[in-house]
Chain A
Amino acid sequence: MTTSVRPYSASPEMVRRALEGKKISVVDLLVSTALLLALLSSLAVLLTLLIDVVSEGMPVLSTRLVDFVTSPLSARPESAGLVQGLMGSLVLVGFVIVVAFPLGVAAAIYLEEYAKDTPLNRLLVSNVRNLAGVPSIVYGLLGLAVFVKALSGVTNGRTLISGGLTLAVLVLPIIVITTSEALRAVPRGLREASFGVGATGWETIRHQVLPVSFPAILTGSVLAVARAFGESAPLLLAGAVLSNFFSAPAGTSFISQVAEQSYTALPIIIYNWARQPQEEFVALTAAGIVVLLVALLLVNAAAIIARDRFERKQVS
């Protein structure tokens, strides 16, 4: 048997024919088309939703947009607004940022930079990951049991404090995970360089690791906060008021509204309006969704601008 492994040799004509025989790969074409379709279909769903919501909400948005976002709730659709929901949601997000962000970042720094690789710590990490997957209604139950009931002396029961803490606990694992990943992405060489010039562990984290990973931490945390912004299920349990007729008496101080009064949030209002039998509430619901989306976009945009500014400051 002669060997078939030998160097390639051919005339220029043979080389030309072999190299120029460009074929269209049918499989490649099919796969790329299928992938493009997948992308387009998910975009199409989103776009359909957006168009549907905006067109349904148009009667409200075009005629009384300012009135809509600045008026309180009302049983009369023509004068109903969602200012309490807007304020409630913003305060809730404030709680998430103030409570969950530092706590989550601190926990992640401990897990990534200080914790030894022991079975207990590995169990801790996998538990945090599992927590991020727990359905939000479960956190609502937790909020009801712990913040509304057990800690009612601190939270005054069904207040923005209870709701804010519930949402903070809800997004805490997400912040821990994204921060962990951001810290892990920092190249080893940077830590070695810092320790190499005599920095302590904390100096290395504070001056080298955190500045490098901060944009990624911020991006992940913004997604977590956005999730909190849109959550309704846990708030239903943790004390957000379902009634359409909720309104704090005029002249109530901001502190009192946060710490003592009942509250509502944008998703809760949307949920309630969607259940109303009157025809007019369909437009109100759609307009509410548009306001929620725009508010969400604004929160995200603010975070992106903050991140870019930070990155620019880092370089210069």
Chain B
Amino acid sequence: MADIKDRVASRIPEVTNREIDLREAPPPVFQLEDLSVYYGAFLAVADVTLAVLANEITAFIGPSGCGKSTILRCFNRMNDLIETARVEGKLSYHGVDLYGPQVDPVEVRRRIGMVFQKPNPFPKSIYENIAFGPRIAGQRNNLDDLVEETLQRAALWDEVKDKLGDSALALSGGQQQRLCIARAIATQPEVVLMDEPCSSLDPIATLKIEELMQELKKEYTILIVTHNMQQAARVSDRTAFFSVDVNEKGQRTGRLVEHDTTNKIFTTPSRPETEAYITGRFG
């Protein structure tokens, strides 16, 4: 374990921002080097280079079409589900190239969980929603304990402990989304990806999810895509700002403008584009 950390740490200077104090920074979990995503011949996002650090919340912000969700979906190979999607460049997870020929996307997704924009619980019982992932991963025993512990971590246990057998679809939107977070951590991942997890929730449910994220980041590394800049400012430690370029054919290609501590991005961004977006003057 230690030598992996050392190996990864040795690569930090190439990619991390100069603001980060390397001696204090935790080792990066992910390193992206010139990562580009194509849909067929269309370049959706170009040349993203950044590092994601452990036990931090990294927020991806930017206007619609800037490719922030597309990049997020590279981290657990979710883009594999789109037939035409193709990835160039390097995305390494603890030094392992996630798009290497030997990598099994199923194993990737067990270690890197995901929560989606629209709450999408399985149309099964609350219990089954949590137990499905561990069961297909081969766990047969102590599923009851695992379900309880997972739901407690997701701050949902008290609300559902008496109706574990009920359909998950009967829960409210906010509860469903917390169930989806619980489902994501039930396979005991290291990372949780969240693709606009609060965009369909009311402010109270959003607050609960944000509190939960603060709790979870003690043990998990979290990446979140959000349209809500206040949310990025509230919850994240680091923020990546993406923008979009339109070429002469009208094709929109996203690119990473700036990646830094959230505090820096929202107070003294180094790029004028970032400042314009943060302050609402963009276009």
Assembled-state Cα–Cα distance A195/B133 (Å): 9
Q: Are B110 and A198 in contact (CB under 8 A)?
A: yes
A196-B114, A197-B183 known; A190 vs B136 contact (CB < 8 Å):
no
Which B residues are in CB contact (< 8 Å) with A211? 123
B83 within 8 A of A: yes
A189 within 8 A of B: yes
Q: Are A191 and B109 in contact (CB under 8 A)?
A: no
Q: Are B81 and A199 in contact (CB under 8 A)?
A: no
A192 within 8 A of B: yes
Which B residues are in CB contact (< 8 Å) with A192? 78, 81, 114, 116, 120
A116 within 8 A of B: yes
Closest B residue to A192 using CB positions:
B116
One of A140-148, A200-208, A244-252, A288-296 at the interface: A200-208
Closest B residue to A208 using CB positions:
B122
Q: Are B120 and A117 in contact (CB under 8 A)?
A: no
A96 within 8 A of B: no
Q: Are B120 and A199 in contact (CB under 8 A)?
A: no
Closest B residue to A201 using CB positions:
B106
A198-B136, A203-B136, A207-B132 known; A193 vs B116 contact (CB < 8 Å):
yes
Q: Are A193 and B180 in contact (CB under 8 A)?
A: yes
Q: Are B109 and A189 in contact (CB under 8 A)?
A: no
Which A residues are in CB contact (< 8 Å) with B114? 192, 196
Assembled-state Cα–Cα distance A193/B180 (Å): 8
Which A residues are in CB contact (< 8 Å) with B132? 194, 197, 199, 207
Which A residues are in CB contact (< 8 Å) with B121? 193
Which A residues are in CB contact (< 8 Å) with B113? 196-197
Assembled-state Cα–Cα distance A203/B133 (Å): 10
- Chain B 72-106 residues near chain A, CB threshold 8 A: 76, 78, 81, 83, 106
A190-B122, A203-B136 known; A195 vs B186 contact (CB < 8 Å):
no
Closest B residue to A204 using CB positions:
B136
- Chain A 113-132 residues near chain B, CB threshold 8 A: 116-117
Which listed residue (A116, A189, A316) contacts B120, Cβ 8 A?
A: A189
Could you tell me the dominant secondary structure of chain B's interface residues?
A: mixed
B184 within 8 A of A: yes
Assembled-state Cα–Cα distance A244/B121 (Å): 60
A200-B106, A207-B132 known; A195 vs B122 contact (CB < 8 Å):
no
Assembled-state Cα–Cα distance A212/B122 (Å): 9
Closest A residue to B125 using CB positions:
A316
A194-B122, A196-B76, A197-B186 known; A116 vs B136 contact (CB < 8 Å):
no
Q: Are A199 and B116 in contact (CB under 8 A)?
A: no
Which B residues are in CB contact (< 8 Å) with A197? 109-110, 113, 132-133, 136, 183-184, 186-187
A315 within 8 A of B: yes
B137 within 8 A of A: yes
A21 within 8 A of B: no
- Chain A 174-199 residues near chain B, CB threshold 8 A: 187, 189-199
Tell which of B76, B110, B118, B132 has the most Cβ of chain A within 10 Å. B132
Q: Are A199 and B136 in contact (CB under 8 A)?
A: yes
Assembled-state Cα–Cα distance A200/B132 (Å): 12
B124 within 8 A of A: yes
Q: Which 10 A-B residue pairings sit nearest by Cβ, starting from the closest?
A: A197-B133, A198-B110, A189-B120, A196-B114, A198-B109, A193-B120, A203-B136, A315-B167, A200-B106, A199-B136
- 27 A-B pairs within 8 Å (CB atoms) are namely A116-B83, A189-B116, A189-B118, A193-B116, A193-B121, A194-B132, A195-B81, A196-B76, A196-B109, A196-B114, A196-B184, A197-B110, A197-B113, A197-B183, A197-B187, A198-B107, A198-B109, A198-B110, A198-B187, A199-B106, A199-B132, A200-B106, A200-B136, A207-B132, A212-B123, A314-B124, A316-B165
Interface residues of B, Cβ cutoff 8 Å to A = 76, 78, 81, 83, 106-107, 109-110, 113-114, 116, 118, 120-125, 132-133, 136-137, 165, 167, 180, 183-184, 186-187
